[in-house]
Amino acid sequence: MRLDITVLPGDGVGPEVTREAVRILRTVLDVYGYEASFEERAIGGVAIRQFGTPLPEPTARACTESHAVLLGAVGGPEFDSLPAGERPEAGLLGLRRALGGYANLRPAVAYGAIADCSPLRPEVVKGADVLIVRELLGGIYFGEPRGFSDASAPAAYNTMRYSVPEVERVAHVAFRQAQLRRRKVTSVDKANVLETSQLWRQTVTRVGREYPEVRLEHMYVDSCALRLITNPGSFDVIVTENLFGDILSDEAAVISGSLGMLASATIGGKVDLYEPVHGSAPDIAGAGVANPLGAIASAALLLRHSAGLEAGAQDIEDAIREVLDAGYRTADLNRGRAKRVVSTAEMGALVETAVADVADRRRAYHAV
Ligand code: IPM
Ligand code: MN
């Protein structure tokens, strides 16, 4: 089996964390006898500086011609004054559109070893394991018309728009994921105010009838924002529209204790896209202190969804747990009790050693 991966390190801490994710991927793919190629391309601010555009054509082409795309992060303060369509973020939105993945999976898991990193009490986060399925190609992010009105009466507008098929396809992803988990879907909307949400709720309800074994509940987004931090354990799969999902998935980071832990997979299109949720973190970029575990966990999702290598995905997830259990922490996870505070590269090396061990053990077990 051969896997061609396009790597888009991007901006800020993106290159640092992506390097570690690639290192882990190489190790695991090697263990399982996969051949892999990694081709690096520019996106975001780096691409603006180099090519004058956040999504150069060769980058888009390389991505659509590969089996999977692994991205670091885009964005930085030096681009803040650019119009929305020219910013680094426009490169990422353009890439998402070009690849066509409409379902963005963002798991948030409470790891016992770092429960003290969460601002929530340990008994509140204990055992929480939420999968946010965020609609990624519609809603207010892409709706037309949008823009600024003329300067004589300064105003700006965006459009939230959803069609039935757009809601149906992401709802199916959520229900299928729930079938593999604890069989509960919470559909999040603002149906007490927004027409798009009323359509969302009706459509999800209808799709839900095809999955009688999955329990469906509906929740307003404001209420969900509260429940995520008061009772995260009550959720299994959350499905929601683009902007709500963007906001709720950052909030869900309190379950793991750091935004640096969260991974994502964007599936359903021509080529799937994997990226940590944390963004470019310009304040710590280049310092070698960023947490690579979100990027490494994204690599696990890549093996699961794009390579059909579930065992390899689990090896990485087990290795992350082992390294945390052993007391190693990047700075964002340090609450004073860390056995050792490690750099980005040291954390990558620790996971690499652990993953090789875990994979060996799994193979030895299967051999007997
Ligand atoms: C995310 C990010 C992006 C988004 C930005 C960088 C465009 O915040 O992936 O959550 O809003 O989708
Ligand atoms: Mn976001």
Nearest CA to 236 out of 149, 169, 173, 174 is that of: 174
**213 plus 279 within the same structural domain:** no
Is the same domain home to 233 and 292?
no
Same domain, 248 and 124: yes
Residues 28, 2 share a domain: yes
What is the position in ligand 1's atom list of the atom closest to the CA of 75?
Answer: 6
- Over residues 231-270, the pLDDT tens digits come to 999 999 999 999 999 999 999 999 999 999 999 999 999 9
Tell whether 100 and 24 lie within a shared domain.
yes
Cα–Cα distance measured from residue 136 to residue 134, given in angstroms and rounded to the nearest whole number: 6
CA of 136 to the centre of ligand 1 (A): 10
Asked whether residue 101 falls in the same domain as residue 127, the answer is: no
Summarize pLDDT for 217-239 with one digit per residue, the tens: 999 999 999 999 999 999 999 99
Same domain, 102 and 129: no
The active-site residue, picked from 11, 102, 111, 141, is 141
Q: Is the pLDDT of residue 357 over 70?
A: yes
- Cα-Cα-Cα-Cα torsion 209, 214, 217, 223, nearest 10 degrees, comes to -140
> Do the domain assignments include residue 231?
yes
Residues 78 and 140 in one domain: no
The pLDDT value given to residue 317: 97
Burial-class residue 245 by CB neighbours within 10 Å (0-12, 13-18, 19+): buried
- Domain boundary residue among 226, 256, 286? 256
pLDDT tens digits for range 173-200: 999 999 999 999 999 999 999 999 999 9
Which region, left, alpha or beta, applies to residue 265 given φ > 0 means left and ψ of -120 to 50 means alpha? Answer: beta
Rounded to an integer, the average pLDDT of 111-135 is 95
Residue among 246, 249, 251, 274 to mutate when testing ligand 1 (max atoms within 8 A of CB) = 246
Structural domain span for residue 251: 119-256
pLDDT digits 0-9 by tens, 145-169 = 999 987 777 899 999 999 999 999 9
**What Å distances lie between residue 44 and 90, 101, 276, 284, CA to CA?**
8, 19, 15, 18
Answer yes or no: is 113 within a domain.
no
234 and 265 belong to one structural domain: no
Q: How far is CA 134 from CA 80, 141, 287, 318, 327, in A?
A: 26, 12, 31, 25, 32
Counting the structural domains of the chain, the total is 2
Average of pLDDT values for 116-141? 96
Of 256, 280, 308, at which residue does a domain stop? 256
Question: Does residue 179 fall inside a structural domain?
Answer: yes
The alpha-carbon radius of gyration of the chain (Å, integer) is 20
Query: Residue of the nearest CA to atom 11 in ligand 1?
Result: 246
CA dihedral 17, 23, 26, 31 (to 10 degrees): -120
Q: Find the 246 Cα to ligand 1 centroid distance in Å.
A: 7
Please pick, among 102, 190, 272, 332, the residue that the annotation labels catalytic: 190
For residue 40, count other CB atoms closer than 10 A to its CB: 15
Of the chain, the percentage scoring pLDDT greater than 70 comes to 99
- Domain holding 148: CATH number? 3.40.718.10
Last residue of a domain, one of 204, 235, 256: 256
Mean pLDDT for the stretch of residues 3-22: 98
Whether the predicted pLDDT of 83 surpasses 70? yes
In a domain, 114, yes or no: no
The separation between CA 120 and the C-alpha centre of its own chain, rounded to angstroms, equals 22
Q: For residue 235, give the DSSP letter.
A: -
Shared domain for 15 and 69, answered yes or no, is yes
Task: Give yes or no for residue 365 having a pLDDT over 90.
Answer: no
Atom of ligand 1 nearest to the CA of 242: 12
User: C-alpha distances in angstroms, 114 versus 110, 117, 119, 279, 298?
Assistant: 8, 5, 11, 21, 19
